[in-house]
Amino acid sequence: MKLRWSHAVIYVRDLDAMIDFYSNILGFQVNDRGPLDPNAPGLEVAFLSQVDTDHHQLAFVPVRGEGPSTTLDHIAFRVDSLADVKAMADKLEADGRATELMPTSHGNAWSIYFRDPEENRIEIFCDSPFHVQQPQIRGWDMSMTEEELRAQTETEFGGEPEFKPMEEFHADLRRRQES
């Protein structure tokens, strides 16, 4: 049996503010919204998604107290390209509600980490063309071109154990899964 990521439920403080940010900045759509419990009519849940194959990728429930109230470290969303990562970073900076924007290279992925308006940590990433044994974390300059970032990634991570083109890593995975 293979499991694939489906959704996350996030406790929030301000349901409308979080829906606004995730809809207008991150591009999610509210697919359903209603009472969590018919016996508690003031408590709603909202279901959001970006894909037509899933009713929801995120659900927000406004029961979060003050201060940290979850053990969730971050939610990660894959995008198709470095241009998409950069476009999201530009959008986040222009909007101003996200904080702690942090361009990060794991060697195998190029990311922008940030905190949403309620301080949940989010990662938007694209795959790099390399496999690098994890964990790895380095910063990168958002003004770099993809060619420059690729060269920097090879230089910084090329000496790491198991550094190889991603295609080789996937081929190795397939062989291990088939045996």
Quickly tell me which residue has 């408590």 as its tokens: 43
Specify the pLDDT at position 28.
Answer: 95
52 and 75 Cβ atoms separated by less than 8 Å: no
CA distance 74 to 97: 17
pTM comes to: 0.79
Specify the pLDDT at position 1.
Answer: 39
Q: Are strands 74-78 and 121-127 parallel, antiparallel or unpaired?
A: parallel
Give the CA angle between residues 165, 170, 176 to the nearest 5°.
130
CA distance 129 to 165: 6
Q: Where are the alpha helices (DSSP H) in 62-127?
A: 82-95
Give, for all 179 residues of the chain, the pLDDT tens digit: 355 777 888 888 899 999 999 999 999 999 988 887 777 777 889 999 998 888 889 988 888 777 666 657 788 888 999 999 999 999 999 999 999 999 999 999 999 999 999 888 899 999 999 999 888 889 999 999 999 999 999 999 999 888 999 999 889 878 877 87
Token couple for 79: 């995008």
CA distance 51 to 62: 23
Q: Which domains does the chain have, with CATH numbers?
A: 1-65 (3.10.180.10), 73-179 (3.10.180)
CA distance 67 to 20: 21
Token couple for 14: 């301000």
Specify the pLDDT at position 39.
Answer: 76
